[in-house]
């Protein structure tokens, strides 16, 4: 009987439990001990105890049988309920399921999924025949590790493909996405509006004229804000606060902030051209951080020359709008005097000074380095010019030959490797003619002195900008960095020796190169700086010798120009041979010469710079913004002078990309500055 009872499946499963086995062993052991002790005292007591143990065993077996039966019934009932639940879930749960075979033929769909198809019979058909859009979604997300939100049949679904089991899951989340989108659209953005040239413009105006100008600008901004449901608040005569919802910001970006053009054009007709710069931040709930980021974006817009809008989230990529006019020359030198004094104070706090230009230096970059070295020497400080003589152009090679005759300058020329060995925590680094570490001649040195850095540059500021510079002198209105540094000499100690002949010549050459012999971007202060340098001993004949061109470069430039084609009759395009490497300076010179043709508003020269890199040099007369064209290709520069470099493409592919952008974008916007055409 016991054998038959213990042979039951339910009892065997119960006896396999470790808890039951341990308890049974313990009870049997104690029973055996009790019987043995009873027999040791008296055999009658032992028999009585043995009978009692047998009785208890029979009762325990009966209870164990009942427990096994009830457990088996519970497990069977639970298994049935689980099975029923699974079947109900497959048919009634609000999640669509599609089972496919190896060839994406539908094997089975649940009823929830069937209501999305028009066909009565879906099973057995290829998915791309049932719904081509759904088949594309499956192919595109087949290897995704996590679910994604997709749009299908005008609804939003959380979409997941299990490639191993060929199962597709879709859960309708349209209502949740609508709530999420509404939340995003109703989040606040904050902006700062600044009148770039207000202070200079109102000088010499009467009180009534100033009042009329301010009232007009405020009125236009108010009407613009009402149109897009924004709040605009006057902070100062030239400063406004802007607040709105992100949904309205999308519309502003689609319209490309036309308020900039409207105010500039209308005030120009009144001979009082006002330009606006706007910095906008969004994407977070902390209003203090939002205001700080809006101010940073405004600083970026002003650093790029003003008359433009910068829109950026805290960790996102900036989007630029506007920037259609050249930066206007400032009429005051107060900022130059303040920068000169601040630079002297920083030099006084440093044990030594390093000055570095950009890679592949031009005359403006090296001339600016020599100018900073002279300023440091005039203030009794040791200054080292960091210079790498690899891959330099012929004019720089000639200048280095002239430097050999000036021992004091030659002794202060060091390589980037030497600079890294000499630098200390108290050293000061001056970056000239660039503000991006990626194009610096000594990027490791810039990284090491990232918190001890001064930036002096005339290029439009890009997103890549050092985080914590001690001093920034970034003036896009200036013709060159040499012009900015020349103005500082007026505020240096008179007792010390000023510029020598070679330094003055190098700086004047830098101005001449960047202004195309004073034909472009040359303002009144440019001529003042040139006059100062000429009085300091700049040699015109030496400039001519430095700027002489190699015959090979001359022929290469003419070869490029000979292949010119035209776009819409107003844009000249030159494309070099794909298997021939051209010097960047040669390409830039070719672009400059193309502008001399009648009727040409802009020129583009595409040439291979290395085996993996294709460069584009872009020029215009100022009526066409080549900067935003180059920014769309990953580069940057100025409105009339810009460039980019594209890796991994052929010359023809870059040409097709450029032509497509020119033809498809009448008012292109930019993403990020990467390269300057030096």
CATH code: domain of residue 277? 3.30.70.270
Half-sphere exposure for 107 (CA within 13 Å, toward CB): 10
Burial class of residue 143, CB neighbours in 10 A (0-12, 13-18, 19+)? exposed
Nearest to 293 by CA among 317, 321, 318, 313: 313
604 and 566 assigned to the same domain? yes
Burial class of residue 92, CB neighbours in 10 A (0-12, 13-18, 19+)? exposed
399 and 381 assigned to the same domain? yes
Q: Place 1 in a pLDDT band, splitting at 50, 70 and 90.
A: very low
> Which CATH number does the domain housing residue 523 bear?
3.90.1640.10
191 and 150 assigned to the same domain? no
Q: Does the pLDDT at position 25 exceed 80? A: no
In a domain, 605, yes or no: yes
Q: How far does Cα 247 stand from its chain's mean position?
A: 22
Q: Does the pLDDT at position 620 exceed 60? A: yes
Q: What is the mean pLDDT of residues 27-55?
A: 77
Instruction: Tell me which DSSP letter residue 95 carries.
Output: S
Span of 23-37, 347-361, 586-600 with lowest mean pLDDT? 23-37
Q: pTM for the complete prediction?
A: 0.62
Burial class of residue 127, CB neighbours in 10 A (0-12, 13-18, 19+)? buried
In a domain, 241, yes or no: yes
| Per-residue pLDDT at 225 | 93
Distances in whole angstroms, Cα of residue 391 to Cα of each of 387, 445, 547: 11, 19, 17
| % residues pLDDT > 90 (the chain) | 32
| Per-residue pLDDT at 13 | 57
Q: Which of 526, 546, 566 corresponds to the end of one domain?
A: 546
Distances in whole angstroms, Cα of residue 209 to Cα of each of 132, 223, 260: 66, 21, 21
In a domain, 223, yes or no: yes
Nearest to 674 by CA among 639, 640, 632: 632
62 and 133 assigned to the same domain? no
Hey, is 20 helix, strand or coil? Answer: helix
| Per-residue pLDDT at 6 | 46
**Could you give the number of structural domains in the chain?**
5
| Per-residue pLDDT at 330 | 58
| Per-residue pLDDT at 324 | 66
Q: Place 671 in a pLDDT band, splitting at 50, 70 and 90.
A: very low
50 and 63 assigned to the same domain? yes
Domain ranges, residue 486: 334-546
Span of 80-84, 468-472, 564-568, 589-593 with lowest mean pLDDT? 80-84
* 240 phi and psi angles, rounded to 5 deg: -135, 150
Residue predicted with more confidence, 665 or 514: 514
Q: Which of 154, 177, 200 corresponds to the end of one domain?
A: 177
Span of 6-20, 249-263, 483-497 with lowest mean pLDDT? 6-20
| Per-residue pLDDT at 665 | 55
Q: What is the mean pLDDT of residues 645-660?
A: 90
In a domain, 675, yes or no: no
Number of neighbours of residue 4 by Cβ within 10 angstroms: 7
Beta strand 613-620 with 636-637: parallel, antiparallel or unpaired?
A: unpaired
Q: Place 92 in a pLDDT band, splitting at 50, 70 and 90.
A: low
Residue predicted with more confidence, 121 or 650: 650
Residue predicted with more confidence, 199 or 494: 199
Q: Does the pLDDT at position 150 exceed 60? A: yes
Beta strand 471-474 with 565-567: parallel, antiparallel or unpaired?
A: unpaired
Hey, is 606 helix, strand or coil? Answer: strand
Distances in whole angstroms, Cα of residue 159 to Cα of each of 36, 122, 150, 196, 606: 72, 20, 6, 49, 44
Distances in whole angstroms, Cα of residue 415 to Cα of each of 2, 356, 389, 507: 97, 10, 8, 21
539 and 557 assigned to the same domain? no
164 and 192 assigned to the same domain? no
417 and 455 assigned to the same domain? yes
In a domain, 327, yes or no: no
Q: Which of 546, 564, 582 corresponds to the end of one domain?
A: 546
Residue predicted with more confidence, 264 or 22: 264
Q: What is the mean pLDDT of residues 8-30?
A: 64
Q: Does the pLDDT at position 83 exceed 60? A: yes
In a domain, 671, yes or no: no
Q: What is the mean pLDDT of residues 475-482?
A: 88
Q: Does the pLDDT at position 344 exceed 60? A: yes
d(C-alpha 222, C-alpha 577), whole Å? 54
Q: Place 678 in a pLDDT band, splitting at 50, 70 and 90.
A: very low
195 and 311 assigned to the same domain? yes
In a domain, 673, yes or no: no
Number of neighbours of residue 95 by Cβ within 10 angstroms: 16
Q: Does the pLDDT at position 75 exceed 80? A: no
d(C-alpha 150, C-alpha 173), whole Å? 10
Span of 139-153, 477-491, 620-634 with lowest mean pLDDT? 620-634
Q: What is the mean pLDDT of residues 259-283?
A: 89
Q: What is the mean pLDDT of residues 620-636?
A: 82
In a domain, 142, yes or no: yes
12 and 73 assigned to the same domain? yes
Residue appearing with tokens 């902390």: 286
> Which CATH number does the domain housing residue 138 bear?
3.30.450.20
| Per-residue pLDDT at 190 | 95
Mean pLDDT for all residues in the chain = 84
Span of 52-61, 168-177, 622-631 with lowest mean pLDDT? 52-61
The distance between the two most distant Cα atoms of the chain, rounded to a whole number of Å, is 138
Distances in whole angstroms, Cα of residue 585 to Cα of each of 359, 400, 560, 601: 13, 18, 12, 21
Q: Does the pLDDT at position 22 exceed 60? A: yes
As a whole number of Å, the end-to-end CA separation of the chain is: 102
Hey, is 632 helix, strand or coil? Answer: helix
Q: Which segments of 141-286 does DSSP mark as H helices, in order?
A: 174-186, 198-202, 207-227, 246-254, 259-269
Q: What is the mean pLDDT of residues 456-470?
A: 84
| Per-residue pLDDT at 421 | 93
Beta strand 571-575 with 602-608: parallel, antiparallel or unpaired?
A: parallel
542 and 555 assigned to the same domain? no
> Which CATH number does the domain housing residue 580 bear?
3.10.310.30
d(C-alpha 275, C-alpha 476), whole Å? 15
d(C-alpha 620, C-alpha 626), whole Å? 7
d(C-alpha 386, C-alpha 430), whole Å? 10
pLDDT in tens, 204-223: 788 888 899 999 999 999 99
| Per-residue pLDDT at 256 | 87
* Helices 18-41/43-92 angle, 10° precision: 170
| Per-residue pLDDT at 85 | 66
438 and 461 assigned to the same domain? yes
């Amino acid at each position: 009987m016991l054998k038959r009872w213990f042979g039951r499946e339910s009892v065997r499963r119960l006896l396999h439990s470790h808890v039951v086995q341990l308890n049974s062993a313990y009870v049997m052991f104690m029973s055996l001990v009790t019987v043995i002790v009873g027999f040791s005292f008296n055999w009658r007591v032992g028999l009585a105890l043995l009978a009692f143990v047998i009785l208890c065993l029979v009762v325990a077996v009966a209870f164990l049988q009942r427990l096994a039966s009830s457990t088996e019934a519970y497990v069977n009932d639970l298994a049935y309920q689980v099975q029923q639940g699974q079947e109900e879930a497959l048919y009634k749960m609000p999640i669509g399921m599609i089972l496919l075979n190896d060839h994406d033929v539908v094997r089975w769909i649940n009823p929830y999924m069937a209501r999305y198809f028009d066909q009565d019979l879906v099973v057995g058909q290829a998915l791309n025949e049932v719904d081509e859009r759904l088949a594309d979604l499956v192919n595109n997300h087949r290897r995704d590790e996590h679910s994604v939100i997709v749009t299908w049949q005008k609804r939003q679904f959380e979409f997941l493909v299990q490639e191993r089991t060929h199962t597709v899951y879709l859960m309708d989340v349209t209502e949740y996405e609508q709530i999420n989108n509404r939340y995003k659209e109703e989040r606040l953005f904050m902006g700062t509006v600044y009148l770039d040239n207000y202070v200079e413009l109102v000088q010499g105006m009467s009180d009534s004229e100033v009042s009329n100008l301010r009232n007009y600008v405020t009125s236009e901004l108010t009407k613009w804000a009402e149109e897009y449901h924004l709040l605009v608040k006057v902070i100062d005569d030239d400063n406004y606060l802007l607040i709105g919802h992100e949904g309205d910001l999308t519309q502003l970006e689609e319209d490309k902030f036309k308020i900039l053009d409207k105010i500039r054009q209308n005030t120009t007709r009144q001979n009082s051209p006002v330009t606006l710069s706007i910095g906008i931040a969004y994407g977070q709930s902390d209003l203090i951080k939002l205001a700080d980021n809006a101010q940073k974006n405004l600083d970026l817009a002003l650093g790029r020359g003003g008359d433009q809008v910068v829109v950026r989230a805290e960790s996102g990529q900036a989007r630029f709008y506007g920037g259609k006019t050249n930066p206007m020359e400032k009429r005051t030198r107060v900022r130059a005097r303040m920068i000169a004094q601040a630079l002297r104070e920083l030099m006084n706090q440093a044990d030594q000074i390093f000055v570095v230009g950009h890679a592949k230096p031009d005359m403006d970059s090296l001339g600016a380095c020599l100018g900073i070295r002279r300023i440091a020497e005039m203030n009794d400080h040791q200054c080292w010019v960091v210079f790498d003589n690899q891959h330099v152009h012929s004019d720089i090679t000639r200048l280095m030959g002239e430097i050999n005759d000036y021992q004091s300058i030659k002794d202060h020329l060091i390589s980037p490797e030497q600079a890294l060995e000499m630098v200390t925590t108290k050293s000061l680094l001056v970056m000239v003619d660039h503000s991006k570490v990626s194009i610096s001649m000594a990027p490791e040195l810039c990284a090491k002195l990232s918190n001890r850095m001064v930036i002096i540059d005339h290029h439009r500021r890009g997103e890549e900008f050092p985080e914590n510079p001690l001093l920034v002198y970034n003036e896009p209105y200036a013709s060159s960095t040499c012009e900015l540094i020349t103005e500082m000499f007026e505020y240096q100690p008179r007792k010390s020796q000023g510029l020598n002949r070679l330094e003055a010549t190098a700086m004047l050459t830098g101005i001449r190169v960047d202004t195309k012999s004073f034909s472009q971007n040359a303002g009144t202060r440019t001529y003042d700086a040139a006059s100062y340098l000429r009085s300091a001993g700049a040699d015109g004949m030496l400039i001519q010798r430095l700027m002489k061109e190699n015959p090979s470069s001359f022929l290469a430039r003419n070869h490029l120009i000979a292949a010119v084609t035209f776009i819409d009759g107003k844009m000249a395009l030159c494309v070099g041979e794909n298997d021939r490497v051209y010097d960047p300076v040669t390409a830039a010179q070719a672009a400059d010469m193309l502008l001399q043709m009648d009727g040409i508003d802009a020129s583009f020269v595409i040439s291979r710079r290395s085996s993996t890199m294709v460069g584009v040099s872009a020029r215009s007369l100022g009526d066409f913004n080549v900067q935003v064209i180059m920014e769309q290709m990953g580069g940057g520069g100025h409105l009339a002078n810009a460039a980019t470099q594209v890796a991994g493409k052929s010359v023809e592919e870059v040409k097709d990309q450029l032509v497509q952008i020119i033809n498809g974008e009448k008012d292109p916007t930019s993403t990020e500055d990467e390269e300057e055409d030096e």
